[in-house]
Amino acid sequence: MAAESDQNRGLSRRGLLSGIALGAGGLAVGGVTGYAAASEPSIDEASATALGSETVDCFGTHQAGIATPRQAHVTFIGLDLRREVNREALVRMMQLLTDDIVRLTQGRPALADPQPELADVPARLTVTAGFGEGLLTAAGLETKSPYWLTAGLPGFKVDELQPRWSDGDLMLQVAAEDPVTVSHAVRVLLTDARPFAKVRWMQSGFHRPANTAPTSTTGRNLMGQVDGTINPQPGTEDFDQVVWIPADGEPTWLQGGSSVVIRRIEMDLRVWGGMDEMAKEEAIGRRLSDGAPLTGGDEFTAPDFEAVDANGFEVIPATSHMRLAHAQDSTDRVFRRPYNYDDGVDEDGKPEAGLLFTAYMADPDAQFVPIQQRLADADVLNIWTTPIGSALFAIPPGFSEGEYLGQTLLG
Ligand code: HEM
């Protein structure tokens, strides 16, 4: 058996693709691998249990799920309010949802929980809520809307947005290290939201779980790139400035809050997969192997945007994603908290996969729009990526015990 497994390991990718080596041998590969996995458990049981019982405090100045280290699984839900919902009804809905959030994030079943047995693995669950312009209108509070929410995001020339992935009156970001925990929390929240709102869209995303790679490793997106290197660091003054609406900011109900842009960006993974390594690296301006800038060093070495090659061309190309996304001044910076998504393939076998680009910032008009404008105009990555969904929400501040989420607006 061992000899057969060694022999199979030596099979070339070309051989397998052309089908020559498949058949009985091909089946044996699965058999051998399955047997080995069963006899050599790779997950440390104690650490797996510890992760499952970890909780993230839902109370505080800011909502949880933003500065919180990114969990492995997420479901974003966009809801449309029912026509008859007014401010009073919104208060009731937010009270119910807040109660669910408090209980579930502590590993306790919600009131009238349909599956209470699923509540005892909180796995660092967080639920973060965002308000769309429609929610403020339903509450009769549109005059309290921040200018950027009233205006909405401008259209970008790369956009091929579909209503089924865009907009919404209320957004819930439900994230945890365990997809069963996320699924259960989503069911509970939707059960309580149903009398007030209808689901407009749901989008699930993922990363490598904490126990499959060292926690210090920056994750990779589905194009294979190291993604998340340059980002404000939670716990720093820099992060606070980029993300939170300050204590003297406008409107007052959003002080301590933020905003989020969620863009569903489809990747043409079949075409991208056929590109050579150099083209892939030049598209970003970083090496695929370790995420280091093309001008050298390691992942965290500062890129040299002035460097030119022997022919006088910029080493980090003018149309590379990194050069164009890089901040031009101290204003145009956001905190990225994206997730991969993979919804299988369409009937032609085309992957329906990509990035749930998620970014938090104090002012999307001043911080997100200029970056996205530069990318829309010139980013070579646009060849393989298409934004098909887009939504913008105001993120109310956090809440304390006895308060409900959104109270600074609705109370
Ligand atoms: C599918 C779409 C996208 C992919 C695959 C992608 C991928 C990447 C990668 C691999 C990096 C380099 C490593 C890093 O610093 O994280 C990067 C950097 C960055 N991206 Fe994206 N990105 C996408 C969309 C966007 C969008 C829509 C924005 C904002 C409008 C954005 C903003 C940024 C920023 C600000 C940086 C850091 C630039 C720097 O200062 O070096 N990205 N992205």
First-to-last alpha carbon distance for the chain, in angstroms, is 69
CA of 231 to the centre of ligand 1 (A): 10
Q: Which atom of ligand 1 is nearest to the CA of 226?
A: 10
**Cα Rg of the chain (Å, integer):** 23
Q: Which residues are catalytic?
A: 227
Alpha-carbon distance 74 to 94, whole Å? Answer: 21
Residue 338 CA, ligand 1 centroid: distance in Å: 10
User: Which residues touch 13 (CB under 8 Å, ≥6 apart)?
Assistant: none
CA of 237 to the centre of ligand 1 (A): 22
What is the reported pLDDT for 217?
A: 80
Q: Is 326 in the pocket of ligand 1 (CB under 6 A)?
A: yes
| Residue closest by Cα to atom 31 of ligand 1 | 325
Beta carbon of 185 within 6 Å of any ligand 1 atom: no
Q: Residue 251: is the preceding peptide bond cis (ω within 30°)?
A: yes
Say if residue 140's pLDDT is above 50: yes
Burial 36-70 (b: 16+ CB within 10 A, else e): eeeeeeeeeeeeeeebbebebebeeebbbbbbbeb
C-beta 372 within 6 A of ligand 1: yes
Average pLDDT in the chain: 91
Instruction: Say yes or no: CB of residue 385 within 6 Å of ligand 1.
Output: yes
Q: Which atom of ligand 1 is nearest to the CA of 385?
A: 1
Residue located nearest, by CA, to atom 36 of ligand 1: 325
Residue with tokens 């800038």: 293
- CA 373 – ligand 1 centroid, Å: 13
Residue nearest to atom 18 of ligand 1 (CA): 322
**Over pLDDT 70: what percentage of the chain?**
88
| 316 pocket-lining for ligand 1 (C-beta < 6 Å) | no
Whole-model pTM: value is 0.91
pLDDT digit string, tens, across residues 32-87: 344 444 445 455 666 667 899 999 999 999 999 999 999 999 999 999 999 999 99
Q: Looking at residue 42, what is its pLDDT? A: 53
Q: What whole-number distance in Å separates Cα of residue 98 and Cα of residue 111?
A: 12
Q: Does the Cβ of 322 fall within 6 Å of ligand 1?
A: yes
Does pLDDT of 7 surpass 50? no
Residue 44: the pLDDT is 62
